[in-house]
Structure 1
């Protein structure tokens, strides 16, 4: 081989080597990062018989950790990934938290719930079961996304929750129960609202009252759904009255007092809030009838204020309907 030929061969080899380097796979350190799950359980605490608290870190809540209380059915075993239970989501009201139902009612002792997984999620002191508007920027808190996407998937993959679900709640949680059933068709088989905020756009009194709740933690009240005039479409999208058509095929239970002193109240106690919510519930019931809903049960029981004694009673009253939808009763 001549010197010139050797030089040409060496040049060719250098070119081939450069091509091999260019075509080689990228080092592992440069690979695209694997996305973290939307929610993950970071703590598990047994707080009482059949009561387990999960600490859940949520991307929808800006990476914060919030708690979810489970009231577990007989035979529940989180390690048994093959068994899934009918699920009742039980939502708390404004000024409460994930412990409210077990601390204020007898829900943990109800025999008919021993074959049901009851999910009681944290929803913020005044979170309103919504992904907050935040001046159009969205983001934290996104309670609706946390509950209906992150938490639902987590519970169904790792904690025995089944795909047959119903949802109920009181006050703010009553609104949330109707919103989730309406805004996520097929997710819930039935819904119940006790003294729920079910038509916040009813009139100026109702709007001003809920704006006051929105501002209850020193927040700008427009962070939640925006301005009730400028962002009326967002308000309507979170107003069960304006979503009545989406509820017409579901079993719906509505109950409320009229705000006057009732049989479960101390003498002389009244509630302007309950009176407002009573008018809202009456309006929603009429709208459900107008759109052709055929599975609505109402218990507008007259005298009664905004209190736990009534909500415990109404949970018991609505359970037969909810359990039939779960195919448990």
Structure 2
């Protein structure tokens, strides 16, 4: 996305989805104190600022941030607490949901009932853009740092929602596939920052020696050669070369960060790479989504084994199934009570 030179404040104008410009600060349909949350102009400490806001329904809004860390704009979808309007002075626990590779910030509301499932709970749900293949890191970039997805997610965005929506310091994070990597990597890189972290079919060992049935070699090589290079990216810009810059890879790799998750409640789920009950009848075991889940299963087994050996608080759910949304939706519903308890009690 290109950087925008003007502010926009939009709200849903009708059930058909038409939008119209409105004045910031006018009445908010959710009742309570009658105030619409107005984030346009709210800034992070480094100058990143909200330049657009779009109200989708009384609890759901999209914001566009002109990010210094990214050098471009990025969006986030936010689901407000059910009593947001009624508790004007409250601070709110936050649940971050991260999308997978080739996805975007709207995926969780497209494929799951996150709005309905969190109704009645006093939590902010924040679903940020993570880039097509951003991989939840400030890119190594041969000594640079852009795009700086980690800084966007862990510094700019939190400061904005703290200042604009009174987000508190009780946080949980969850994600699928690439987002599962992000959830565990962020929690490991910021010990104590998140009370709970969940991964659904996550990439939990980027340095695994095999990519299993999807590539004849290490997983890192498959990740770069089959995804970054074909899409026009410099394949070494992400973390550098897996051998020459192995320390950079390890510093972000969930498996290498396991010991730093000791104070975080964990939920890890993954399919076994065989067609399961939520796959279409007659699914071929050699289908891409099945084979890729088999590769993820190798990594998840190693992560679970290491976490168990050192006595981490981990809940595990493994099952027959592929790398696909029906399973992630189901697993999210299983993990949600754990995530909510971690940030709303104690």
What is the CA-CA distance between 1:328 and the residue it aligns to? 5.1
| Residues 71-95 of structure 1: CA deviation (Å, up to 9, x unaligned) | 1111224994x32111100000001
Question: Pick from 311, 323, 326: which aligns with 1:292?
Answer: 311
Matches within 5 A, 1:65-214: 65-77=73-85, 80=88, 82-111=89-118, 114-138=121-145, 140-205=146-211, 206-211=219-224, 212-214=226-228
Asked whether the 8 Å contact 1:201–1:207 carries over to 2, the reply is yes
- Cα distance in 2 for residues equivalent to 1:175 and 1:101: 16
What is the CA-CA distance between 1:290 and the residue it aligns to? 2.3
Asked whether the 8 Å contact 2:45–2:156 carries over to 1, the reply is no
Q: Give the TM-score normalised by structure 1.
A: 0.84
Deviates more, 1:216-225 or 1:161-170: 216-225
Task: Could you tell me which runs of 5 or more consecutive residues in structure 1 were left unpaired when the two chains were aligned.
Answer: 1-34
Asked whether the 8 Å contact 2:192–2:263 carries over to 1, the reply is no
**Equivalence for 1:306:** 323
Give RMSD over aligned pairs.
Answer: 1.9
| Residues 204 and 230 (structure 1), Cα distance of their counterparts in 2 relative to 1, 3 Å cut | farther
**Equivalence for 2:342:** 325
| Residues 292 and 71 (structure 1), Cα distance of their counterparts in 2 relative to 1, 3 Å cut | same
> Partner of 1:152: helix, strand, or coil?
helix
What is the CA-CA distance between 1:38 and the residue it aligns to? 3.3
> Partner of 1:276: helix, strand, or coil?
helix
| Residues 219 and 191 (structure 1), Cα distance of their counterparts in 2 relative to 1, 3 Å cut | same
> Partner of 2:172: helix, strand, or coil?
strand
Task: Could you tell me which runs of 5 or more consecutive residues in structure 2 were left unpaired when the two chains were aligned.
Answer: 1-43, 212-218
Aligned residue pairs total: 290
- Cα distance in 1 for residues equivalent to 2:221 and 2:134: 17
What is the CA-CA distance between 1:246 and the residue it aligns to? 0.3
**Equivalence for 2:274:** 260
What is the CA-CA distance between 1:99 and the residue it aligns to? 0.2
Matches within 5 A, 1:51-62: 51-62=60-71
| Residues 83-122 of structure 1: CA deviation (Å, up to 9, x unaligned) | 2111100000001000000011111111456321100000
What is the CA-CA distance between 1:195 and the residue it aligns to? 0.2
| Residues 69 and 201 (structure 1), Cα distance of their counterparts in 2 relative to 1, 3 Å cut | same
> Partner of 2:231: helix, strand, or coil?
coil
What is the CA-CA distance between 1:136 and the residue it aligns to? 1.7
- Cα distance in 1 for residues equivalent to 2:258 and 2:86: 37
> Partner of 1:298: helix, strand, or coil?
strand
What is the CA-CA distance between 1:307 and the residue it aligns to? 0.6
Structure 1 or 2: more helix by fraction: 1
What is the CA-CA distance between 1:260 and the residue it aligns to? 1.1
| Residues 83 and 281 (structure 1), Cα distance of their counterparts in 2 relative to 1, 3 Å cut | same
